Structure 1
Amino acid sequence: MQVAVAEERLSLAEQAYRVLCDRLVTLEIAPGTPINDEQVAAELGVGRTPVREALKRLETDRLVVSFPRRGTFASEVQITDLGHLTEVRHRLEPLAADCAARRASARDRAVLGELLEELDAAAGGEVRELIALDLRLHRALYAATANPFLQDTLVRYDNLATRVWCLFLDRLPGLAGHVGEHGPLVRAVLAGDGERAADLAAEHVERFETTIRSLL
């Protein structure tokens, strides 16, 4: 598979990072799977150096782990981390929602508006499409905060939380409903209602943990 033409302007390392990151987050690359940089480079149509750079970033993100003389592997999903993830996200997700409502640029609003239209039409969508839409919604909301440090932090934590979610996909009820919870949140952001957006973000994080724990 060649990297999408739409991302040609990105560095090769960034292209490789984005492709691998999404595959790891959605468990398309299963936990524990060895990752061979030469094979990945050939598949993506890039050199091994950009792939190695991408893997270093992914290790920092806790999505891969490297062992001397053994190689690089997709990291295991640690259910015991759920409480720690929720503790951080419960603080930061409402902050991000409030910031997005107050600071979203015209471009941010256009992106969120388009995603909202996709969300309204996604009720009967395929599971993988819903997961991809969920990731795009979160990332668009984080980008709208106009705070790159908050954005980077929350993308990493959302990636780890999504891995936990994907681990239970076959047992999770109402996936479309879970993704659909973003509708009121995005509308609150677009309306500039930071307080309501923050409350909805907090409820979403709480409901996520409650749902996962009910399956343990």
Structure 2
Amino acid sequence: MSVAASESRLSLAEQAYEVLCDRLVTLRIAPGTPINDEQVAAELGVGRTPVREALKRLEADRLVVAFPRRGTFASEVQITDLGHLTEVRLRLEPLAADCAARRATALDRAVLTGLLAELDAADGGEVGELIELDLRLHRALYAATANPFLSDTLVRYDNLATRIWCLFLDRLPGLGGHVGEHGPLIRAVLAGDAAGAADLAAEHVKRFETTIRSLL
């Protein structure tokens, strides 16, 4: 296989991964749903090989589970994982906010400024749009850490936490307020206030767990 063909195949696999990941995280692919690689390939207009590569990544991310001779399924949302996720995120989210405040490049700051403007205009927005904005806010903050290992790790944990959040969407009060908590955090990052950003990130994680547990 030529280098160009290999890069093209990886690009298609990345595209398939992003589409499936988004659907799995937001529960548009419901937990327990079988995922047929042939059907997904046809829908996305790609070959089955890129889809299979995407599914392997998603399995490593705990978003799908594969069973021999049975196939691949969207993983169940494990509420019992909430405490474990919080334990890890309470350490890593403040670290990410601290790093972002100290390391954000001009491009990072432009992206965050644009997202802040979207956030300010999103009060009372549609649920799906708020979830999508929340995901983009987190990923932009992680990218601004300039630490790909920290960013990749937190994206995976945030995906799992978001699945829990989406499971309770019909019962969660003040969705816009939860997403809006990112406003002060982004402003602290843009101001270079590393300590303040870290404190705000920790409070955000704590409030997330408290809110979910109040519904159990």
Provide the TM-score with structure 2 as the length reference: 0.95
CA–CA separation in structure 2 for the residues paired with 1:140 and 1:179: 14
- Secondary structure (helix, strand or coil) at the match of 1:29 reads coil
1:60-71 paired onto structure 2 within 5 Å: 60-71=60-71
Verify the 8 A CA contact 2:10 2:50 in the aligned structure 1: no
Match of residue 194 from structure 1: 194
What is the rounded CA distance, in whole Å, between the counterparts of 2:69 and 2:138 in structure 1? 37
> Does residue 133 of structure 1 match 2:133?
yes
Task: Give runs of aligned pairs for residues 51-130 of structure 1, distance below 5 A.
Answer: 51-130=51-130
Deviation at 1:124, TM superposition (A): 1.6
Any gaps of 5 or more consecutive residues in structure 1?
A: 1-7
* Structure 2 residue identity aligned to 1:14: E
Aligned positions of 1:118-197 closer than 5 A:
118-197=118-197
Structure 1's consecutive aligned runs of 4 or more residues displaced over 4 angstroms after TM superposition are none
Looking at structure 2, the residues matched to 144 and 52 of structure 1 have their Cα atoms a distance apart, in angstroms, of: 30
Contact 2:9 2:50 in 1 (8 A): no
Aligned amino acid, residue 27 of structure 2: L
Q: 1:168 & 1:215 partners in 2: Cα distance?
A: 8
Secondary structure of the 2:69 match is coil
1:203 equivalent in structure 2: 203
Looking at structure 2, the residues matched to 118 and 10 of structure 1 have their Cα atoms a distance apart, in angstroms, of: 32
> Distance between the aligned counterparts of 2:211 and 2:10, measured in 1?
37
Q: Tell me whether 1:214 sits opposite 2:200 in the alignment.
A: no
User: Could you list the per-position Cα deviations for residues 167-213 of structure 1 after superposition, in whole angstroms to 9, with x for gaps in the alignment?
Assistant: 00000000000000000000000000000000000000000000000
Shift of 1:9: 11
1:39-65 C-alpha deviation (Å, 9 max, x unpaired): 001111111100000000000000000
**Using the alignment, how far apart are the partners of 1:44 and 1:165 within structure 2?**
27
Which AA in structure 1 matches 2:58? L
| Aligned residue identity for 1:109 | R
Instruction: For residue 29 of structure 2, give the secondary structure of its aligned residue in structure 1.
Output: coil
TM-score for the superposition, normalised by structure 1: 0.95
Give the distance between the partners of 2:100 and 2:143, measured in 1 at CA: 8
How many residues are aligned here?
A: 209
Q: Deviations over 1:20-46 (max 9, x none)?
A: 001000000000000000000111111
**For the residues of structure 2 that align with 1:116 and 1:140, how far apart are their CA atoms?**
11
Question: What does residue 41 of structure 1 align with?
Answer: 41
Instruction: Report the equivalent of 2:4.
Output: none
Determine the C-alpha separation between the residues in 1 that align with 2:199 and 2:16.
36
Counterpart residue identity of residue 144, structure 1: A
Q: Secondary structure at the residue paired with 1:215?
A: coil
